[in-house]
């Protein structure tokens, strides 16, 4: 925001002098520190006392030190302020002024309670400089210089070069080279934090890439170096992105600008790429483009704005399975929800594949013969189903005892009665006809065709073929969506399954749904700041390792 700061100084002879300063910052900080946007030099002010934000409801001021501030005479820690409000920040009186056109906020500041002369008198009576003591500046400087050289140069070098010295200092609580440690190591590398030589393999030589590759042999490229030469990671060192000794947090580079410097102008850098330009999830990100099955063996990325249809070869109306009154089942009405079929994988990040057993076969029993409810078809290849059906009817005809007036006498005979050859042929002929009559039922909407696209096999009369199911394992393989982190939401908040009558519907939410909770790199009220690495990986597994055996020699030094 743009904030006009006006410092008001009273003249000794009356009147005031105003000095304006225009500040352009997301947050305006007030304090004694020189990096504050509003510098208040009085010693009674903390380094960073308060800060001023511009939010949807207006200006918001908040104490940073835990001390109270005064707004219109009331002592508060934070408050929403408006033009005309009077604030007291230590010895300063602050007034919120109506902003001019093009300015977000205007503030005037006046020193209202200056220090008395006691401070100056105290300075005169005190020895606050080295020259006022009996110590020699030169002697003290040389002593400190020698001490620094001994502690921070000689001792670490001796400990490194002398095995005896290393052994002697092995049990010391503080090692001789501790002074060279530039900061805490990340949690991922703490298991070898005591072995500095694992990374720093040569004295006084920066860490080399080969030290990283010794453990991270399979680390992948970011882009195909043949198509995107600007993204060939051989040109950069590992520590160009991964900075160690900066704390326990992960050393993954999360600065969005690192990605945007290429991805906001990909159409210019790589005109042949199918990737779209993007700069920020909240304000400049294309609509999601899921990878959907558009035909046999064909997967394409299609924007959700184009309402993609997935040709999976399956028939599944979500709306009929999610009716409020429940669906019919062998045990009566059963109310289904998403969790009946969609089960999180271990860890909860993704979903397990949907399988016939045990998710569907509780209702879809694959029974086809009304007189033989013990006959259950396998969920498998059509050839196996056809073979089983023919075998069941052959066995039934040869055993006899069929209660069908239209069946031959050989089939209706008492079970176990021997058959003559003509009777056997009659029985098998009846079984074949019965099997052929039953095939359209088996592969029709009653059994297989309830969920699969089944058609007669033109090459083999009497046989059927089922279109092989093709379901994209992940609609968004280039992004990551952790379901476990969204467990506070219900499935219907994102997936409109109750309104879907076809399995061809791609039930992904558009980007606008995600933007209700997530914004880009800039913070926003009641939204989660999400940079590129919140959803996308940098090193892509499908592109293979960065370094092969031939390129392992001559790796760059950081």
Q: According to the model, what pLDDT value does residue 174 have?
A: 75
Tens digit of each residue's pLDDT (9 = 90 or more) over 132-141:
676 778 888 9
Q: According to the model, what pLDDT value does residue 173 have?
A: 73
Rounded Cα–Cα distance for residues 235 and 223 (Å): 13
Eight-state DSSP code of residue 347: T
Confidence of residue 357 (pLDDT cuts 50, 70, 90): confident
Judge contact between 252 and 243, C-beta under 8 A: no
Tens digit of each residue's pLDDT (9 = 90 or more) over 221-246:
888 878 887 777 777 788 888 999 99
Confidence of residue 556 (pLDDT cuts 50, 70, 90): very low
Q: According to the model, what pLDDT value does residue 93 have?
A: 95
* Better pLDDT: 153 or 393: 393
Confidence of residue 554 (pLDDT cuts 50, 70, 90): very low
How far is residue 349 from each of residues 359, 405, 484, 506, 516, measured CA to CA in Å? 20, 59, 5, 20, 21
Tens digit of each residue's pLDDT (9 = 90 or more) over 419-443:
999 999 999 999 999 999 999 999 9
Residue 89 β-bridge partners: 92
Rounded Cα–Cα distance for residues 158 and 72 (Å): 65
Confidence of residue 553 (pLDDT cuts 50, 70, 90): very low
Query: H-type helices in 62-219, by residue range?
Result: 118-125, 137-149, 155-161, 163-168, 209-213
- For the chain, domains (ranges, CATH) are 2-115 (2.60.200.20), 256-285+517-537 (no CATH), 382-450 (no CATH)
Judge contact between 379 and 470, C-beta under 8 A: no
Average of per-residue pLDDT across 254-270? 89
Q: According to the model, what pLDDT value does residue 145 have?
A: 94
How far is residue 220 from each of residues 183, 207, 548, measured CA to CA in Å? 28, 20, 10
- 């949907």: which residue's tokens? 354
Average of per-residue pLDDT across 59-88? 91
Tens digit of each residue's pLDDT (9 = 90 or more) over 23-49:
999 999 999 999 999 999 999 899 999
* Better pLDDT: 390 or 542: 390
**DSSP element (H, E) containing 430:** helix 421-442
């Amino acid at each position: 925001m743009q904030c006009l700061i006006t410092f008001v100084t009273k003249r000794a002879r009356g009147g005031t002098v105003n000095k304006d300063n225009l500040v352009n910052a997301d947050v305006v900080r007030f304090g004694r520190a020189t990096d504050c946007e509003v510098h208040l030099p009085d010693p009674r002010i903390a380094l960073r006392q308060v800060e001023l934000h511009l939010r949807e409801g207006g200006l918001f001021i908040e104490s940073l030190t835990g001390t109270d501030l005064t707004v219109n005479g009331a002592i508060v820690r934070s408050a929403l302020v408006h033009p005309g409000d009077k604030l007291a920040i230590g010895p300063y009186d602050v007034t919120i002024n109506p902003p001019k056109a093009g300015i977000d906020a205007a503030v005037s500041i006046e020193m209202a309670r200056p220090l008395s002369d006691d401070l100056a008198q105290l300075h005169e009576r005190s020895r606050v400089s080295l020259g006022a003591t009996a110590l020699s500046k030169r002697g003290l400087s040389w002593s400190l210089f020698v001490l620094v050289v001994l502690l921070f140069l000689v001792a670490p070098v001796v400990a490194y070069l002398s095995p005896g010295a290393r052994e002697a200092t092995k049990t010391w609580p503080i090692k001789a080279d501790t002074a060279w440690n530039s900061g805490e190591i990340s949690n991922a590398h703490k298991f070898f934090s005591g072995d500095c030589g694992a990374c720093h393999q040569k004295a006084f030589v920066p860490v080399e890439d080969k030290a990283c590759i010794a453990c991270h042999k399979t680390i992948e490229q970011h882009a195909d170096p043949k198509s995107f030469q600007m993204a060939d990671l051989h040109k950069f060192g590992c520590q160009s992105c991964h900075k160690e000794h900066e704390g326990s947090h992960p050393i993954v580079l999360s600065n969005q600008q690192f990605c945007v410097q290429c991805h906001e102008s990909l159409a210019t850098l790589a005109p042949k790429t199918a990737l779209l330009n993007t700069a920020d999830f909240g304000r400049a990100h294309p609509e999601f483009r899921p990878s959907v099955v558009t035909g046999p063996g064909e997967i394409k990325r299609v924007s959700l704005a184009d309402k993609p249809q997935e040709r999976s070869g399956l028939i599944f109306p979500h709306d009929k399975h999610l009716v409020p009154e429940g669906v019919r089942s062998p045990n009566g009405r059963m109310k289904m929800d998403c969790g009946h079929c969609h089960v999180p994988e271990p860890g909860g990040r993704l979903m397990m594949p949907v399988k016939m057993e045990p998710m569907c076969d509780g209702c879809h029993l694959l029974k086809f013969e009304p007189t033989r409810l013990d006959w259950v078809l396998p969920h498998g290849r059509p050839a196996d189903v056809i073979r089983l059906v023919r075998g069941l009817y052959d066995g039934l005809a040869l055993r006899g005892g069929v209660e069908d007036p239209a069946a031959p006498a050989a089939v209706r005979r008492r079970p176990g009665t021997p058959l003559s050859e003509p009777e056997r042929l009659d029985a098998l002929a009846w079984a074949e006809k019965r099997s052929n009559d039953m095939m359209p039922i088996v592969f029709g909407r009653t059994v297989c065709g309830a969920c699969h696209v089944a058609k007669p096999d033109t090459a083999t009369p009497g046989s059927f073929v089922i279109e092989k199911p093709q379901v994209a394992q992940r609609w968004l393989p280039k992004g990551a969506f952790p379901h476990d982190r969204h467990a506070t939401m219900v499935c219907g908040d994102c997936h409109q399954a109750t309104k879907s009558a076809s399995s061809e519907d791609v039930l992904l939410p558009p980007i606008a749904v995600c933007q209700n909770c997530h914004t880009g790199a800039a913070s926003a009220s009641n939204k989660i700041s999400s940079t590129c690495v919140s959803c996308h990986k940098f090193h892509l597994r499908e592109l293979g390792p960065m370094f092969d055996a031939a390129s392992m020699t001559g790796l760059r030094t950081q």
